């Protein structure tokens, strides 16, 4: 009897422990940057919003400064449902899992800021999100971004002639290399974590990036010439592992979805406002020499057929037409 009672008590105690543990939810996020970067601030805002909207207990564990690697690592983690629960990520770093997702951040997709904002606040990108959910089990819960990508080099580039043969790093999605090849540059897909060294050692002469990240990771130290090609306005989904999401209680799921949207809007306003300011700060500090690009209209002509062929190969020509028509 005593033994039985002991066993029952032990079982009850174990059950209490388990249910206490089950209520203790911690969501881990990852950023390649420090606390000053718009992505980090947006993930912090997301955490605050979830906590405001959810009655239960939820903790956040945000790992900064690339402690958990770069986006190419994060996408694998999210897909497998290990190490992290959410992050902010370039669509072009998710290409291995969902071939059409990079369409939403291909260069020259948006005419201007207003076009970009119109697309991101609509649901036109839904078919691309669906493919990511189906093939990678990764959910888009919001959209941030808003940085303008420009060419960054270890020597001045003013025009198309000088861009010819430019050995540059691009993100892993094939469409990125196709577009910069069409501009006659010599792109290669290199991990973001290798870019600084690759420029320093002369493996490449530069790459392309937006002000927030150039400043945060001090890329100007090795590539002090920025050419205003303005070839992309960034689209950066806030993403969560489907495996994480399905394990959350329904009210927390609802809070996550609302917070993702709101944090996205916060991040878009923040990064697009700070973009020009940060360029100016780097120019004023003589970290960067900012150069106009003479042939921007010609770039567009070279790129449109590449965009069309890519969309066609994905069966996404109608989607591309809809985006362009917004």
Which residues sit at the interface with ligand MAV, rule CB under 6 A?
71, 90, 93, 171, 192, 209-210, 213, 234, 236
Residue 150 CB, nearest approach to ligand MAV (Å): 12
Q: Which residues pair with 25 in a beta bridge?
A: 58
Dist. CA 317–CA 323, nearest whole Å:
10
Task: Please give the C-alpha separations between residue 182 and each of 110, 186, 252, 299, in angstroms, as whole numbers.
Answer: 18, 9, 46, 9
Nearer to ligand MAV, 33 or 54 (CB): 33
Backbone angles phi and psi of 29, in degrees to 5: -115, 165
Nearer to ligand MAV, 25 or 38 (CB): 38
Determine contact, residues 166/157, Cβ cutoff 8 Å.
Answer: yes
Nearer to ligand MAV, 171 or 252 (CB): 171
Q: What angle do CA 141, 146, 152 make, to 5 degrees?
A: 125
Look up residue 15 and give its two tokens. 């059950």
Residue 206 CB, nearest approach to ligand MAV (Å): 12
Specify the pairing of strand 186-189 against strand 167-170. Answer: parallel
Nearer to ligand MAV, 100 or 144 (CB): 144
Residue 70 CB, nearest approach to ligand MAV (Å): 7
Among the listed residues 213, 193, 252, 240, the one whose alpha carbon sits nearest the alpha carbon of residue 28: 240
- C-alpha dihedral sign at 154, 155, 159, 165: negative
Nearer to ligand MAV, 227 or 234 (CB): 234
Residue 55 CB, nearest approach to ligand MAV (Å): 33
The residue sitting closest to ligand MAV, measured at its beta carbon, is 213
Residue 282 CB, nearest approach to ligand MAV (Å): 15
Residue 222 CB, nearest approach to ligand MAV (Å): 15
Residue carrying structure tokens 């980090």: 40
Residue 22 CB-density burial (10 A; 0-12 exposed, 13-18 middle, 19+ buried):
exposed
Nearer to ligand MAV, 93 or 241 (CB): 93
């Amino acid at each position: 009897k005593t033994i039985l009672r002991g066993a029952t008590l032990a079982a009850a105690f174990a059950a209490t422990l388990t249910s206490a543990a089950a209520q203790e939810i911690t969501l881990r996020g990852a950023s390649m940057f420090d606390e000053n970067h718009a992505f980090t601030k947006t993930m912090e805002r997301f955490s605050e919003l979830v906590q405001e909207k959810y009655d239960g207990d939820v903790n956040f564990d945000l790992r900064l400064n690339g402690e958990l690697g770069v986006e190419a690592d994060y996408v694998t983690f999210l897909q497998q449902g290990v190490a992290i629960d959410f992050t902010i990520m370039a669509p072009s770093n998710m290409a291995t899992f969902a071939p059409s997702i990079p369409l939403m951040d291909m260069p020259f997709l948006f005419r201007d800021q207003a076009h970009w904002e119109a697309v991101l606040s609509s649901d036109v990108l839904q078919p691309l999100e669906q493919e990511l959910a189906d093939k990678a089990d990764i959910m888009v819960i919001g959209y941030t971004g808003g940085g303008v990508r420009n060419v960054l080099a270890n020597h001045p580039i003013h025009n198309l002639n000088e861009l010819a043969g430019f050995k540059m790093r691009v993100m892993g999605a094939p469409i990125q290399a196709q577009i910069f090849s069409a501009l006659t540059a010599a792109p290669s897909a290199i991990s973001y974590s290798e870019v600084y060294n690759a420029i320093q050692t002369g493996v490449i002469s530069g790459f392309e990036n937006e002000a927030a990240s150039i400043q945060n990771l001090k890329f100007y130290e090795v590539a002090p010439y920025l050419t205003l090609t303005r070839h992309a306005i960034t689209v950066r989904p806030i993403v969560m592992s489907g495996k994480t999401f399905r394990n959350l209680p329904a009210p927390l799921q609802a809070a996550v979805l609302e917070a993702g949207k709101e944090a996205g809007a916060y991040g878009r306003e923040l990064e697009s406002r700070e973009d020009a300011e940060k360029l100016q700060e780097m120019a004023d500090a003589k970290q960067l020499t900012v150069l106009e690009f003479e042939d921007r209209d010609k770039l567009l002509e070279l790129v449109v057929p590449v965009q069309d062929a890519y969309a066609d190969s994905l069966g996404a020509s109608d989607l591309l037409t809809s985006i362009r028509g917004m």
